[in-house]
Amino acid sequence: MGRSSLAAALIYGLLVSVGTAADRLPDGGVAKATGQGPVQAWFGRPTDRYDHGILGDGIEGGSLVVLDHGGNQHELVLPERYVFEDITPRLADLDGDGRNEVIAIRSDITAGASVVVYQLTAGSLTEAAATAPIGTRHRWLSIAGIADYTGDGRLEIAVVKTPHIGGSLELLSLAGKRLISLHDPQTGYSTHFIGSRDVSLAASSDLTGDGTAELVLPNQARTRLVVLSFNDGAEVLWMQDIPARIDRPVRVLAQRRIAVPLETGETVRIELPTGLRE
Ligand SMILES: [Ca+2]
Ligand SMILES: [Ca+2]
């Protein structure tokens, strides 16, 4: 092969590789899980067709790619009206059948973001359930966490809708083909700020030792940390003002110990009081 045809082949190779499943979203990660069904998941076919760019750049996912427990790869390519306005998909067995679901943030270019759940059935990825889009383009939501927040042994999805303009926290449960909201929305929270590649600043962990996860998240101004329980309706267990805005995801270091990264570059360590709830 001569130099020019080699160069042409290289250029052709580059061209055909753009937007294929082999291309992972540049800043996206690979979710991994044990169990049956999808055990790895990532976003593919990067696209700039949605002019929103609140997750650090204007490049969003155009497809969802999974590896199943048998090592087979499957891809779901979104229609042009959607993008995955997300970084890394989440894998969790929401209905307790031993097979993982894939949970993602999908935005409709004209109607904004929704939570979507996919299942791998009969060798193909299919939509199991989705929330209605927020209703307006450029309106996003943050998947704040996935855990058993209610103590019934099933996982819920904690979501903060429109975290940049007055966040509204909802707890979603997969019920058949629907994602139902378990409580009245709780306002005043934010788990994302514009430009951050951290889709959620929140942490989900059993902080009280009762066997059920609590949600630890910032308030709307990101200057206060709040611990919420959903054991018996949404209940604020604890809150504390923070000396600067929360800048990166909070981390639970031990049952009552939390690390809170601030925009100043410092990380504040907080010891929760005993007796939040026994
Ligand atoms: Ca399942
Ligand atoms: Ca639950």
Distance 197 CA to ligand 2 centre (A): 28
Across the range 194-207, mean pLDDT stands at 96
For residue 3, name the pLDDT band (cuts at 50, 70, 90): low
For residue 260, name the pLDDT band (cuts at 50, 70, 90): very high
Distance 151 CA to ligand 2 centre (A): 5
Distance 175 CA to ligand 1 centre (A): 11
For residue 20, name the pLDDT band (cuts at 50, 70, 90): low
Tens of pLDDT, residue by residue over 82-115, are 999 999 999 999 999 999 999 999 999 999 999 9
Give the whole-angstrom CA distance, residue 198 versus residue 157. Answer: 17
Tens of pLDDT, residue by residue over 225-252, are 999 999 988 999 999 999 999 999 999 9
- Predicted confidence at residue 19, as pLDDT, reads 55
Tens of pLDDT, residue by residue over 151-160, are 999 999 999 9
Distance 93 CA to ligand 1 centre (A): 4
Residue closest to 58 by CA, chosen among 79, 20, 88, 85: 85
Which ligand does the CA of 94 lie closest to? Answer: 1
Does residue 92 or residue 15 have the better pLDDT?
Answer: 92
* pLDDT exceeds cutoff 80 at 30: yes
* Pick from 2-6, 41-45, 65-69, 97-101: least confident: 2-6
Distance 183 CA to ligand 2 centre (A): 13
* Beta bridge partners of residue 104, listed in sequence order: 116
Which ligand does the CA of 96 lie closest to? Answer: 1
CB 26 within 8 A of CB 42: no
The one-letter code for the residue type at 170 is E
- Predicted confidence at residue 274, as pLDDT, reads 86
For residue 12, name the pLDDT band (cuts at 50, 70, 90): very low
Across the range 212-222, mean pLDDT stands at 96
The alpha-helical segments, DSSP class H, found in the chain are 3-17
